[in-house]
Amino acid sequence: MQHEDLILLLVFILILLALCAASVYFVVQEHDRTEKLKARLNEAMTPTVRHPNPVEEQLSLTRTVSRSEQLKEKAANFIGVDLKQAETYPIKWWLVPPMTLALTIVIVRIASHPLARWPAVLLLLTYVGFPVIWVMTTKLVFNRFTNKRNAKLLESCAACASAFRWARRCARWRAMHSSRPRRSS
């Protein structure tokens, strides 16, 4: 049994290291993207830069996406991340998978104690249930983030609609009262 526990611990450590490497990769990539954006902004702001001719610019209504970006989006969608909305999440999106992994380890450890009498069920929980619980927990967290964002958007839309109705009522009232002839005293 000790060898199995040691192997399981090594697998968990390898998974954590892989997630740390992935998160470092995404942080570096985000930093590079920010630096490129700053360089483009500086280039656009300097007065010596030649402005492109409208003929030279070809506008496209379709978004060109490279194969690596498609794979990234599919992998992110698998765990529930919408990379287009990543800036709206309350914490960095790449922190959530390691945090839910730690939570999943705790859940599996707590669930494994009562199941210790049935090794087959314990093996099934460890090797099949663990990844399923991790993915579902991660999706649950990102779904919660999305629902909070959508609720705020709906709330702001309702406030705008209310303000629009109020402005329309004021305009009607003003139109009604300005069309009446005034009495001279």
Over residues 148-173, the pLDDT tens digits come to 888 888 888 777 777 778 888 888 88
**How confident is the model at residue 70, as a pLDDT?**
84
Question: Is the torsion defined by CA of 97, 101, 104, 108 positive or negative?
Answer: positive
Mean pLDDT value across the chain? 79
Mean pLDDT of 71-89: 85
- Contact predicate 99/23, CB 8 Å: no
The answer to whether residue 99 scores a pLDDT higher than 90 is yes
pTM here? Answer: 0.51
Question: How much is the pLDDT for 27?
Answer: 76
User: What is the mean predicted confidence (pLDDT) over 118-135?
Assistant: 85
pLDDT band at 1 (very low <50, low <70, confident <90, very high): low
Count of CB atoms situated within 10 Å of the CB of 4: 12
Identify the residue with better confidence: 57 or 32: 32
> Residue 67, Cα to own-chain centre: how many angstroms?
20
Q: Residue 163 corresponds to which tokens in the numbers above?
A: 């303000």
DSSP 47-116: TTSPPPPTTT----SSPP--HHHHHHHHHHHHTT--GGGGGGSSS-GGGHHHHHHHHHHHHHHHHHTGGG
Percent of the chain with pLDDT over 70: 84
Spatial separation of the C-alpha atoms in residues 135 and 139, rounded to whole Å: 6
pLDDT grade for 62, boundaries at 50, 70 and 90 = low
- One-letter amino acid at 154 equals L
Predicted pLDDT of residue 184: 61
